[in-house]
Amino acid sequence: MALTLKEQLSSPGGILKFLVKYNTVFIFILLVIFSALISDVFFTSANITNLLKQVSGIGIISIGMLIVILTGGIDLSVGSLVALLAVTFAILVNLVVLPLAILLTIVIGFSLGSISGYLVAYQKMAPFVATLALMTIARGLGFIYSKGSPVTFKTAGGVFMSDFANNSTLGVPNIAIVFFLIVIAAMVMLRYNVFGRLIIAIGSNEEASRLSGIKVNKYKFLVYAISGALAATAAIIVASRTNLGSPNMGMSWELDAIAAVVIGGASLNGGRGTAINTLMGVLILGLISNILNLLNVPSYPQQVVKGAIIIFAVLLQRFESK
Amino acid sequence: MKNSENDYRLEMTGISKSFGVVSVLKDVNLKVKPGEIHALLGENGAGKSTLIKILSGVHHKDTGTVRLNGQEINPKNTHEGQVLGISVVYQELSLVNDLSVAENVYLHKLGASKFWMNWDKITRDAQELLDSLGFTIDASAKVRDLSIVQKQVVEIAKALSEDTKVLVLDEPTTVFDPTDTKKLFDNLFRLKEKGISIIYISHHLDEIIKIADSVTVLRDGVDTGSMPISETDTDGIIRLMIGRDLKDLFPARNVEIGTEPVFQVKNLTARDTIVHDVSFCVRPGEVLGIAGLGGSGRTETAKLIFGADKKKSGTLILDGKEIKTKSPVDAAAFQIGFVSEDRKEEGVFLPLSIRRNISVTSFKSISGKLGFINVENEYKKVLGLIEKLNIKTPSSEVNVKNLSGGNQQKVALAKWLSIDSKVIFIDEPTRGVDVGAKIEIYNLINEVAKKGVGVVVISSDMPEIMGISDRILVMHQGTIYGELQKDQFTEENILRYSIGKRLKQQTQTI
Residue-wise pLDDT for B359-370, tens only, equals 888 887 788 878
Contact yes or no for A197 and B332 at CB 8 A: no
CB B479 within 8 A of CB B278: yes
Range of the domain at A188: 46-321
| Contact criterion met (CB below 8 Å) for A167 and A240 | no
Residue in chain A closest to B365 (alpha carbons) equals A194
Residue in B336, B346, B408 to test binding to A, most A beta-carbons within 10 Å? B346
Q: Return the residue of A nearest to B369 by Cα.
A: A193
Strand order of the sheet with strand B71-72? B22-32, B10-19, B63-68, B71-72
For residues A149-177, average pLDDT: 92
The reply to whether A39 falls in a domain is: no
- Residues in chain A closer than 8 A to B371 (CB atoms): 193-195
Cα separation, B483 vs B292, whole angstroms: 11
Does residue A60 have a pLDDT over 80? yes
Where residue B476 falls (left for φ over 0; alpha for ψ -120 to 50; beta otherwise) is beta
The Cα-based distances of A195 to A206, A268, B352 in angstroms read: 15, 19, 16
Residues B111, B57: Cα–Cα separation, whole Å: 18
pLDDT tens per residue, range A9-44: 555 556 666 666 667 788 888 889 988 898 888 888
CB pairs under 8 A between A and B: 81
Dihedral sign (CA A178, A183, A189, A195): positive
Give the chain A residue whose CA is nearest to the CA of B343.
A208
Q: Which of A205, A207, A214, A272 is most worth mutating to test chain B (most B CB atoms within 10 A of its CB)?
A: A205
Across the interface, of A200, A211, A213, the residue whose CB is closest to B346 is A211
Residue A193 has its nearest CB partner, among B328, B346, B371, at B371
* Residue contact B347–A271, C-beta within 8 A: no
Q: Find, among A299, A278, A309, the residue nearest to A187 by Cα.
A: A278
Residue of A3, A11, A208 lying closest to B348 (CB–CB): A208
CB within 8 Å: B350 and A205 = yes
Confidence of residue B283 (pLDDT cuts 50, 70, 90): very high
Inter-axis angle of helices A98-121 and A127-146, nearest 10: 150
The answer to whether the CB atoms of A13 and B21 lie below 8 A apart is yes
User: Which string of DSSP letters, residue by residue, matches A12-59?
Assistant: TTHHHHHHHHTHHHHHHHHHHHHHHHH-SSTTSHHHHHHHHHHHHHHH
Contact A225, A126 (CB under 8 A): no
Confidence label for B248 from pLDDT (cuts 50, 70 and 90):
low
Contact B351 A204 (CB under 8 A): yes
State residue B246 phi and psi, 5-degree precision.
-115, 80
pLDDT of residue B222: 87
Phi, psi values for residue B200, rounded to 5°: -120, 120
* Distance from C-alpha of B54 to C-alpha of B30, rounded to nearest angstrom: 12
Identify the residue with better confidence: B252 or A162. Answer: A162
Q: Is residue A278 within 8 Å of residue A260, measured between CB atoms?
A: yes
Among the partner-chain residues A195, A213, A271, the one whose CB lies closest to the CB of B328 is A213
Q: How far is A308 from chain B (nearest CA, A)?
A: 29
Average the pLDDT over each of A43-47, B47-51, B403-407 and give the range with the smallest value.
B403-407
Query: B378 to chain A: which residues are within 8 Å by CB?
Result: none
- In Å, how far is A15's CA from the nearest CA of chain B? 15
Give the pLDDT of residue B263.
94
Q: Which residues of A touch B350 (CB under 8 A)?
A: 204-205
Return phi, psi of residue B282, to 5°.
Answer: -125, 140
B163-221, pLDDT tens digit by residue?
Answer: 889 999 988 877 777 788 888 898 899 889 988 999 999 877 878 888 999 999 988 78
Q: Do the domains spanning B2-242 and B263-349+403-498 agree at the CATH topology level?
A: yes
Residues 6 or more apart whose CB falls under 8 angstroms from that of A82 comprise A57, A61, A231, A234, A235, A238, A249, A250, A253
**HSE value, Cβ hemisphere, 13 Å, CA-based, for A144:** 7
Residue of A nearest to B333 (CA): A213
Q: Fill in the amino acid letter for A236.
A: I
For residue B208, give every residue at least 6 positions away whose Cβ sits within 8 Å of its Cβ, in sequence order, or none: B39, B41, B200, B202, B215, B229, B237
Domain boundaries, chain B: 2-242, 263-349+403-498
Q: Residue A195 and residue A219: Cα distance in Å, rounded? A: 8
Bridge partners (DSSP) listed for residue B290 = B458, B473
Angstroms from A31 CA to nearest CA on chain B = 30
Judging contacts by C-beta atoms under 8 Å, the chain A residues touching residue B332 are 212-213
For chain B, how big is the Rg over CA atoms in Å? Answer: 24
Number of domains composing chain A? 1
B363, A194: Cβ pair inside 8 Å? Answer: yes
Chain A residues touching residue B347 (CB < 8 angstroms): 208, 211
Contact between B352 and A213 using a beta-carbon 8 Å cutoff: no
Here the CATH number for the domain that contains residue A139 is 1.10.3470
pLDDT at position B4 over 60: no
Q: Which of B200, B152, B222, B227 is CA-nearest to residue B52? A: B200
Q: Is the pLDDT of residue A322 over 60?
A: no
A211 → chain B, closest CA residue: B328
Alpha-carbon distance of A146 to A91, in angstroms, equals 8
| Best residue of A10, A211, A215 to probe chain B, by most B CBs closer than 10 Å | A211
In angstroms, the separation between the Cα of residue B430 and the nearest Cα of chain A is 18
Class of domain B263-349+403-498: alpha beta
Is the separation of the CB atoms in A86 and A245 below 8 Å? yes
Chain B: residue whose CA lies nearest to A198: B360
Q: How far apart are CA A175 and CA A173, in angstroms?
A: 6
User: What's the order of all strands across the beta sheet hosting B278-282?
Assistant: B278-282, B263-270, B311-318, B321-323
Per residue, what are the HEC states of B289-338? EEEECCCCCHHHHHHHHCCCCCEEEEEEEECCEEECCCCHHHHHHCCEEE
Residue A77 and residue A255: Cα distance in Å, rounded? 10
DSSP string, B44-93: TTSSHHHHHHHHHTSS--SEEEEEETTEE---SSHHHHHHHTEEEE-SS-
pLDDT of residue B2: 43
Task: Give the closest residue to B421 by CA, choosing from B282, B292, B228.
Answer: B282
Through-space distance between the first and last CA atoms of chain B, rounded to whole angstroms: 67
Q: Is B233 helix (H, G, I), strand (E, B) or coil?
A: coil
The answer on pLDDT for A3 being more than 50 is: no
pLDDT at B509 over 60: no
For residues B238-244, average pLDDT: 73
CATH of domain B2-242: 3.40.50.300
Cα torsion angle, A38, A44, A47, A51, sign? positive
State the smallest CA–CA distance between residue B291 and chain A in angstroms. Answer: 22
* CB-closest option in A192, A205, A207 to B375: A192
Per residue in B419-451, pLDDT tens?
Answer: 888 999 999 998 777 777 888 889 889 888 988
B349–A198: do the CB atoms touch at under 8 Å?
no
* pLDDT surpasses 80 at A206: yes
Please report the pLDDT score of residue B5 as a whole number.
46
Name the CA dihedral angle for B367, A1, A61, A302, rounded to a multiple of 10 degrees. -160
pLDDT, tens only, A251-271: 989 999 999 999 888 888 888
User: What pLDDT does B219 receive?
Assistant: 83
Q: Angle of helix A45-70 relative to helix A216-242, nearest 10 degrees?
A: 160
Nearest-Cα distance to chain B for A282, in Å, is 25
Cβ-contact B274, B477 below 8 angstroms: yes
> Which residues from chain B sit within 8 angstroms of residue A4, using beta carbons?
397
Query: Which residues of chain A approach chain B closer than 8 Å at the C-beta?
Result: 3-4, 7, 11-13, 192-195, 197-198, 200-201, 204-205, 207-215, 271-272
Which pLDDT value is given to residue B115? Answer: 64
Average pLDDT over residues B293-313: 90
Q: How far apart are the first and last CA of chain A?
A: 25
Report the SS3 class of residue B363. Answer: helix
Q: Closest-CA residue in chain A for B364?
A: A194
- CB within 8 Å: B346 and A12: no
Confidence of residue A132 (pLDDT cuts 50, 70, 90): very high
State the pLDDT at residue A49: 92
**Single-letter amino acid code for the residue at A171:** G
Q: Residue A71 CA to chain centroid, in angstroms?
A: 16
Residue B51 pLDDT grade (very low, low, confident, very high; cuts 50, 70, 90): very high
The size of chain A, in residues, is 322
User: Helices A299-321 and A14-21 meet at what angle, rounded to 10?
Assistant: 150
Q: What is the mean pLDDT of chain B?
A: 86
Contact A208 B331 (CB under 8 A): no
Residue B239 near residue B246, CB atoms below 8 Å: yes
SS (H, E, C) B408-467: HHHHHHHHHHCCCCCEEEEECCCCCCCHHHHHHHHHHHHHHHHCCCEEEEECCCHHHHHH
